[in-house]
Amino acid sequence: MAKKRPQTKGKSHVSSGEIPVVGAREPCPCGSGRRYKACHGRAAAHAVTELVQRPFEGLAGEGDWIALRELVPAATVRLTLKEGLPDGVPSVTLATVLPMAWPALRRDDGSVLLGLQNDTSSGDMSRDLADTLQRALTAEPGTPVQARRAPADGPRLQDLLDPAAAFEPVVHTGFEFWVPDSENANPDVAASLERANAAAIPTVKLSGVDGAYWCETPDKNHLRWVMPHPEEQLLDALARLHAAGTSSLGEGTRLVGSFRAHGLTVPVWDLPTRMSAEDVEKPAAEFAERLAAALGSEAPLTVEERRARGGLTNRQVTLS
């Protein structure tokens, strides 16, 4: 009979924290005799691909982060770093999307634009964005930052951004923020901006409530409102209001359902085409008061409320 290969399990002299990343088919540096992908590489791959349900949890303006990722065509936010800005970097700005879908751009003046609406290679969007941001801070001025897989042990946005700084999105009607002087852009850039602007849905952030965005479409307008409440509690509260006939935002409006995005629930209302963002400010504030009362109720749902909840659940879609 052939001799069994000697087992080296348990004889590694290198701690897990010291294991470097090598090729998947190469011997694991820990000395186990197995390939890296079947040994310490398995844990590293899992750490990179494990889905983080709420990647923006703990950041100021979590609902606005989600809205800018999923709902808003053109917006920017000035970001504040915990350690302050490095030398030669006058500002760091988050943008919904950048030209050519670049993950980030270091402008000629050294300022950084970080794109939010990009595909990410791991299950933790916060870690991917933090890796892109770090590379943008040291990129050569005038160059974009390309996508890559973030290290599994790299920092997250929560590690880099100042948690006490305000998160104040500025919603734009177009993408002129892409270039410092859009009025004098060359013909190719001007044509690109014109195409991008034509595809942007007019969107306005409400000022009276958090995380709510009005948008205009050809057939009707909408209000999409990212809410921070636990999903089950929020659906119960919405069902109570719906059954009582108080879930609308006024005449001609209707709560049509909700979707999940990055761990939070986003109720959606249909609005008449004549209802502007300014028109919906007061009804939204009044709805927020009704919702707060419904969220505080601990009474069991009635038959009508359970039926309303079932209807809301059946119309719920998961985006991420």
Q: How far is CA 75 from CA 65, 69, 123, 152, in A?
A: 11, 10, 24, 29
CA distance between the termini of the chain: 55
**Who's near 164: CB < 8 A, 6+ residues apart?**
60
Q: Where is average pLDDT lowest: 122-131, 173-182, 204-213? A: 173-182
pLDDT at 216: 96
Chain centroid offset of residue 314 CA: 24
Mean pLDDT of 26-30: 75
Beta strand 254-261 with 316-318: parallel, antiparallel or unpaired? parallel
Burial (CB < 10 A; 0-12, 13-18, 19+), residue 140, is exposed
24 has a pLDDT exceeding 80: no
Residue 129 has pLDDT above 90, yes or no: yes
Give me the pLDDT at residue 58, please: 97
Q: What is the separation of C-alpha 176 from the centre of its chain, rounded to a whole number of angstroms?
A: 22
pLDDT > 90? residue 32: no
Q: What is the pLDDT of residue 188?
A: 77
Q: Look over the chain and give the mean of its residue pLDDT values, rounded to a whole number.
A: 88
More confident: 230 or 3: 230
* Proportion of the chain above pLDDT 70, given as a percent: 88
Confidence of residue 20 (pLDDT cuts 50, 70, 90): low
pLDDT, tens digit (0-9, with 9 covering 90-100), for 85-100: 999 999 999 999 998 8
Buried b (16+ CB within 10 A) or exposed e, 59-73: bbbbbbbbbbbbbbb
What confidence tier does 34 reach under pLDDT thresholds 50, 70, 90?
confident
User: Which of 129, 293, 271 minimizes the C-alpha distance to 213?
Assistant: 271
pLDDT greater than 50 at residue 17? no
pLDDT category at 11 given cuts 50, 70, 90 is very low
- Nearest CA to 210 among 189, 225, 220, 199? 225
pLDDT at 146: 93
Q: How confident is the model at residue 262 (pLDDT cuts 50, 70, 90)?
A: very high
Q: Which comes out higher in pLDDT, residue 47 or 262?
A: 262
The pLDDT of residue 41 is above 70: no
Residues 6+ apart with CB under 8 A from 197: 173, 174, 175
